[in-house]
Amino acid sequence: MDLKELLASKGRQKIIEILAKYREMNVMHLVNNKVGGRYNDVNRNLIIMEKEGIIINEYRKQVRRAKIRIIKLNMENFRAQKLLKALKILDDSDTSTFPQKVIL
């Protein structure tokens, strides 16, 4: 999948931005509190990004609980670095002062 396709989904953009900010996050916390989508939608995007090497899944065992799934951004992956740069450029262009309407 090329970078344009990876950036085509608002959900994937949001996940990458959140992981860039927090470094790692429990999947359920990501779904319920940060992305705001349904688990299946978020998980589908996570699977796509994991196949591309953008994120890493890590399972940690909790005391008296089952394993929890932690998601991390794979900063060693060149494509993950490119995606972050692209999102930063897009974010900067959203906050710049372009005229909303041009009158001729």
Q: Are 17 and 10 in contact (CB under 8 A)?
A: no
CA distance 56 to 30: 14
The model's pTM: 0.80
Place of tokens 């349904």: 38
Ramachandran angles phi, psi of 18, nearest 5°: -65, -45
Domain boundaries, the chain: 3-93
CA distance 103 to 81: 39
Per-residue pLDDT tens for 16-68?
A: 999 999 999 999 999 988 888 899 999 999 999 999 999 999 998 877 777 88
- Report pLDDT for 92: 79
Residue, of 76 and 63, whose pLDDT is higher:
76
Residue, of 66 and 104, whose pLDDT is higher:
66
- Report pLDDT for 66: 79
CATH code of 3-93, in short, is 1.10.10.10
- Which amino acid, 65? R
- Report pLDDT for 90: 82
